[in-house]
Amino acid sequence: MMGIPVVAATSAPRATEASTMHAAGDAAAALLDDVLDYARRRALLSPVPLDQPQPPEVLRRLAGETIVAEGIGARRALGVFEHVLAPACLSTDHPGYLSFIPSAPTKAALAFDVVVSASAVYGGSWMEGAGAVHAENEVLDWLAGEFGLPPTAGGVFVQGGTIGNLSALVAARDAARRRRRGAGAAMPERWSIVCSSEAHSSIASAAAVMDVDVLAAPADADGRLRGDAVAAVLAAAGESVFAVVATAGTTNLGIVDDIASIAEVAHARGIWLHVDGAYGLAGMLAPSVRHLFAGVERADSVIVDPHKWLFAPFDSCALIYRDPAVAFAAHTQKAEYLDTLTDSTDWNPSDLAVQLTRRARGLPLWFSLAVHGTERYRVAIEDSLGRARRVAAEIRRRPDLELVREPDLSVVGFRRVGWSPDDYRDWSDRLLAEQRAFVVPSSHAGETILRLALISPLTDDDLLWDVLDSLR
Ligand SMILES: *Cc1c(COP(=O)(O)O)cnc(C)c1O
């Protein structure tokens, strides 16, 4: 077997006087040591402080002026960050951070994020970043396989689910336009997207950017969108619809739409099916809930955010197309200085989404998957699901608490019987002030509720029981 060659360190290039800040040398080494030492301490700190925001005047006073003509030096700048700025940022990886969707990067993924920066990889084109793009593609291929998409599927890691949804919908509309043009059919006066009334706000945001309409189909009594509701909306919408969006795990309550029946209805009319799985689609890796996602294999495009339930650091969304050629046609930017790239048949990730310059943001996930193997991911996701079921059972046991619905995934929505919105808010503020947990009120059907979003394997039952106890 051939060994992996070890690259010998080249001697550091000398800097001109004007750019000593780029030079290698003792000062640079000391600076890197300090910064990496902080990163190491923060990453290994257990438990990390939860921390909390501060008003601008407090930060101005505590941090002082840091941007000045002569520079304040690495030590002081790092000190300001460590002692003033970082404590004014919530630790989204804290085991008690249970709001929105928490982050829980593996040590491997977050360490490799540093390497990605140090390597100055440009992830936009094959010419510049072939090695990185190859590794990202291996991850995307693995995900596509898990979702049941064909081996010809492919995609790109973009900044987040919002850009992923927008990019997929732009490709969908472009495909619809081409098809109509090809068939000599007239274009509709307005284009529209059909999605659930429970769909994520980023769908409405994408529609606003694209200047298209959103036709909301009613979710059923359990919050799921089904094919028959989509069919009713499509029947009334005429030819204007270019995409149907199914949600694979709503952010608020983790509800997975009936994707199979939606796919049936959309494809019977030749309409693009996009699956927004930014949070929940990672659940498909877990055997216990995989069946909920039946139909994803028929999607024309899907997204899942590794920075949510796939344990990667911010920011990362895997966007995968059934037929990447359609996305290349929609997104490739044309410019004289880019001709050398666009004339080639290379796989250029830039050309698959609304973006050009891109960080190889799939690499932290690639490294962590390579280090740990895919099985550990399944176990970690099952772990979140098991915790959600235990919390739900405990809520059912407590007379002053009530589940909004049984959790399908790892978000548990519930109410405290008899509490007003103010009670919820005061309780939430107190919990954070006491640095116990970060749980902000949410709402469901016009009612204030609480939700616990369970992602981190470090969130133990003691912490969760303490949160429930504090609701007495
Ligand atoms: C989080 C989320 C998004 C948006 O993703 P960002 O990465 O925050 O832009 C879209 N859809 C769903 C279902 C989400 O949970």
Q: Which atom belonging to ligand 1 lies closest to the Cα atom of 251? A: 15
Which ligand 1 atom is the nearest neighbour of the CA of 160?
A: 7
The token duo for 202 is: 């980023």
Q: How far apart are CA 207 and CA 276, in angstroms?
A: 14
CA of 344 to the centre of ligand 1 (A): 33
Map out the domains of the chain as residue ranges: 15-89, 113-372, 374-469
Provide the CA 256 distance to its chain's centre, in angstroms: 17
Q: For residues 338 and 128, is the Cβ–Cβ distance under 8 A?
A: no
Q: Whose CA is nearest to atom 3 of ligand 1?
A: 161
Tell me which residue has tokens 């505590």: 62
Kindly give the confidence (pLDDT) of every residue in the chain, 472 residues in length, as a single tens digit, with 9 standing for 90 and above: 456 766 666 665 666 766 788 988 999 999 999 999 999 999 999 889 999 999 999 999 999 999 999 999 999 999 999 999 999 999 999 999 999 999 999 999 999 999 999 999 999 999 999 999 999 999 999 999 999 999 999 999 999 999 999 999 999 999 999 999 999 999 999 999 999 999 999 999 999 999 999 999 999 999 999 999 999 999 999 899 999 999 999 999 999 999 999 999 999 999 999 999 999 999 999 999 999 999 999 999 999 999 999 999 999 999 999 999 999 999 999 888 877 777 678 999 999 999 999 999 999 999 999 999 999 999 999 999 999 999 999 999 999 999 999 999 999 999 999 999 999 999 999 999 999 999 999 999 999 999 999 999 999 999 999 999 999 9
Report the length, in residues, of the chain.
Answer: 472
Distance 313 CA to ligand 1 centre (A): 15
Cβ neighbours around 55 below 10 Å, total: 9
100 CA distance to ligand 1 middle (Å) = 10
Distance CA 190, CA 234 (A): 14
Residue located nearest, by CA, to atom 10 of ligand 1: 161
Count CB atoms within 10 A of the CB of residue 194. Answer: 28
What is the token pair recorded at 326?
Answer: 């359609």
DSSP state of 97: B
- Ligand 1 atom nearest the C-alpha of 161 is 5
In this structure, the residues whose C-beta lies within 6 A of any atom of ligand 1 are: 101, 160-162, 200, 202, 247, 251, 276, 278-279, 305, 317
- The number of the ligand 1 atom at minimal distance from the alpha carbon of 202 is 10
Residue 347: C-alpha distances to residues 125, 137, 332 (Å):
7, 10, 11
Do residues 229 and 261 lie in contact, with contact meaning Cβ atoms separated by under 8 Å?
Answer: no
User: 256, 240 in Cβ contact below 8 A?
Assistant: no
Cα-to-centroid distance, 434 and ligand 1 (Å): 29
* Cα 204 to ligand 1 centroid, rounded to whole Å: 12
Total Cβ atoms within 10 A of residue 372? 17
Atom of ligand 1 nearest to the CA of 305: 7
Give distance in angstroms: CA of 306 to centre of ligand 1: 11
Q: Which helix (H) or strand (E) holds 436?
A: none
Distance CA 311, CA 457 (A): 10
Q: What is the DSSP string of 294-342?
A: TTGGG-SEEEE-HHHHT---S--EEEEESSHHHHHHHH----GGGHHHH
Please give the Cα distance from 427 to 437 (Å, whole number).
11
Q: Where are the alpha helices (DSSP H) in 156-248?
A: 161-183, 201-210, 227-237
Report the nearest atom of ligand 1 relative to the CA of 279. Answer: 15
Q: What is the CATH number of domain 113-372?
A: 3.40.640.10
Please give the distance, rounded to the nearest whole angstrom, from the Cα atom of residue 157 to the centre of ligand 1: 14
For a substitution probing ligand 1, which of 158, 279, 281, 296 has the most ligand atoms within 8 Å of its CB?
A: 279
Q: In angstroms, what CA-CA distances link 330 with 167, 179, 353, 358, 414?
A: 9, 13, 8, 18, 43
| Counts for the chain of helices (H) and strands (E), in that order | 16, 11
431 closest CA partner among 395, 467, 379 = 467
- 363, 142 in Cβ contact below 8 A? no
pLDDT score, position 344: 75
Ligand 1 mean position to 160 CA, how many Å? 7
Q: Residue 34 contacts by C-beta under 8 Å, 6 or more apart in sequence?
A: 74, 75, 78
* Residues contacting 349, CB < 8 A, separation 6+: 123, 124, 125, 133, 136, 156, 157, 358
Answer whether CATH 3.40.50.2300 is correct for domain 374-469.
no
Residue nearest to atom 5 of ligand 1 (CA): 161
Closest alpha carbon to 155 in 327, 285, 332: 327
User: Which of the listed residues 162, 309, 314 should we mutate to test ligand 1's pocket, taking the one with most ligand atoms within 8 A of CB?
Assistant: 162
Q: From the CA of 164, how far away is ligand 1's center (Å)?
A: 9
